[in-house]
Amino acid sequence: MATIALPSQEAQNPFASVARLVPGVLLLAAIGFGGKVLEQSINGYAKVHHLVIPNIEYVLWAIAIGLLVANTVTIPQVFLPGIATYEFWLKAGIVLLGARFVVGDVLKLGGISITLVILEISGSLVLMTLLGKWFKLKPKLTSLLALGSAVCGVSAIIAAKGAIDADDEDSSFAIAAILALGAIALVFFPLIGHALHLSDNAYGLWSGLAVDNTAEATAAGALFSDAAGKVAVLAKTTRNATIGFVVLGYAIYWASRGQAEKVTNKAAFLWNKFPKFVLGFLAISLLVSVNVFNKGQVESLANLSRWAFLLTFAGVGLRTNFREMSKQGARPFIVGALGEVLIAGLTLGLVVGANAIWKL
Amino acid sequence: MSEEKVATAIPRPSLSLDTWAVITSFVLALLVRVGALKHIPW
């Protein structure tokens, strides 16, 4: 019997797929732009009336409006596919952010980041594994929490879920804990950074190393300053690049215990898990370094990156639903919170040490 | 076995979110480079 393959209905209708995203993307844009307008209006009002008020960045406004919407009204179904694109805007924003780094910066800060990332990952994995054992969490839930806090939050948990054959409930617990802790970090990291008078580079490195999810790490950096946001993305991207190696280690461990499938092709596994946007970021940075773009064009690319991040920050607020998170139970959250506080302290120590050695 | 042809729907291989983000960014960078997008304000 011969068979002929037909493309599926969905694949035949890409316009319908894109059209589904429009309402949610418009909502992200409206909230993000609303945050920017609020910042400018308040600053303008303060200037005209000679008032001294603290500058609240558009980042915080966008997240706060998103949080308010997500936690006070039920968002209609029609907006959900578009809201989920915030991760796409995050990654596009990171690729375009490459325009703000010449290769020399990437090599210098990236080199420091790699050293600190190796120390951070090792320390976080050990710490979360010990805490998971002490609090008697299920071993695979402990693995997911360790991966989420050591590498890159939700992406690492999703990547590891299939590789170590974890169940849906454990993944939901781990994701909820990481997201809740990311939301808390948005409040405390800038406050601590300012209290300790950290430089933009030192603070950016710290938030890139300690905040788990890429969107929250980017937002935590940008809440301190634009320059710190840039460095936070670089440090976080370095962490993201290790995802394949760490998940592979866990997959091999669980397969050796007969509780996950064996990894037959390790190179293909690493390539599949590698975040491709890191390559895009490096490519744009390289093109800028060899003067493919003039000064005005580099500024335009940097601004495109800022617009993409604006949509991301609105999405961070919109997808943080405290009611849903509270349904996940307290124990994984307590383990996560304890671990995160210790990891934040460890990474702060690393950054202060690096600052003393390399004068960040 | 007959030569009957059976139509089966198979999904086309789709690109990952990362790849789409990279492609979109490069298209935007190209538009900026060739001058189709002249000035992006902030």
Query: Which ipTM did the prediction report?
Result: 0.77
Chain B residue with CA closest to A275: the answer is B18
The answer to whether B10 and A84 have CB atoms below 8 angstroms apart is no
Chain A residue with CA closest to B33: the answer is A293
Question: Is pTM, for the whole model, over 0.90?
Answer: no
A13-22 — which CB contacts under 8 Å span 24+ positions? Answer: A20/A81, A20/A82, A21/A81, A21/A82, A21/A85, A22/A82
pLDDT, position B32: 96
pLDDT, position A3: 40
Q: Which residues contact A188 (CB under 8 A, 6 or more apart)?
A: none
Q: Which residue has the tokens 């970021």?
A: A281
Q: Which of A225, A273, A231 is nearest to A249 (CA)?
A: A273
* Sign of the alpha-carbon dihedral angle for A341, A342, A347, A353: positive
Distance between A322 CA and the closest CA of chain B, angstroms: 27
pLDDT-based confidence at residue B13 (cuts at 50, 70, 90): low
Chosen for mutation from A94, A95, A312 (greatest number of chain B CBs closer than 10 Å) is A95
Contact B25 A280 (CB under 8 A): yes
Residues of B within 8 A of A4 (CB-CB) are: 5-8
The residues with which A6 forms a beta bridge, in sequence order, are B9
pLDDT per residue of chain A (360 residues) written in tens, 0 to 9 = 344 444 444 556 778 888 999 999 999 999 999 999 998 898 888 888 888 776 677 888 888 899 899 999 999 999 999 999 988 999 999 999 889 888 777 777 778 888 898 999 999 999 989 988 998 888 888 888 888 888 877 777 877 877 787 777 777 777 777 877 888 888 899 999 999 999 999 999 999 999 988 888 999 999 999 999 999 998 988 888 888 888 888 888 888 888 888 888 888 888 888 888 889 999 999 999 999 999 999 999 999 999 999 999 899 889 888 877 777 677 777 888 888 889 999 999 999 998 888 777
Please check whether residue B37 touches A, CB under 8 A. yes
pLDDT-based confidence at residue B11 (cuts at 50, 70, 90): low
Name the residue ranges covered by the structural domains of chain A: 95-358
Name the residue facing A284 among B10, B24, B25 (closest C-beta).
B25
Residues of A within 8 A of B3 (CB-CB) are: 1-2
Residues of B within 8 A of A276 (CB-CB) are: 16, 18-19, 22
The residue with greater pLDDT, B22 or A322, is B22
Helix axes A277-289, B17-34, angle to 10 degrees: 20
CA–CA gap between residue A252 and residue A166 (Å, rounded): 14
CA-CA-CA-CA dihedral for B22, B28, B31, B37, to nearest 10: -170
Residue B12 reports pLDDT greater than 60: no
Chosen for mutation from B4, B17, B37 (greatest number of chain A CBs closer than 10 Å) is B17
Residues of A within 8 A of B7 (CB-CB) are: 3-4, 6
List, for residues A297-351, the tens digit of each pLDDT value: 999 999 999 999 999 989 988 988 887 777 767 777 788 888 888 999 999 999 9
Please check whether residue B13 touches A, CB under 8 A. no
Residues of A within 8 A of B40 (CB-CB) are: 299-301, 303-304, 307
Burial label, A192 (beta-carbon count in 10 A; 0-12, 13-18, 19+): middle
Please check whether residue B30 touches A, CB under 8 A. no
Name the residue facing A277 among B10, B18, B37 (closest C-beta).
B18
- Within chain A, strands assigned E span 2-7
pLDDT, position A177: 78
Alpha helices for B1-42 (secondary structure H)? 17-34
Name the residue facing A88 among B4, B21, B41 (closest C-beta).
B21
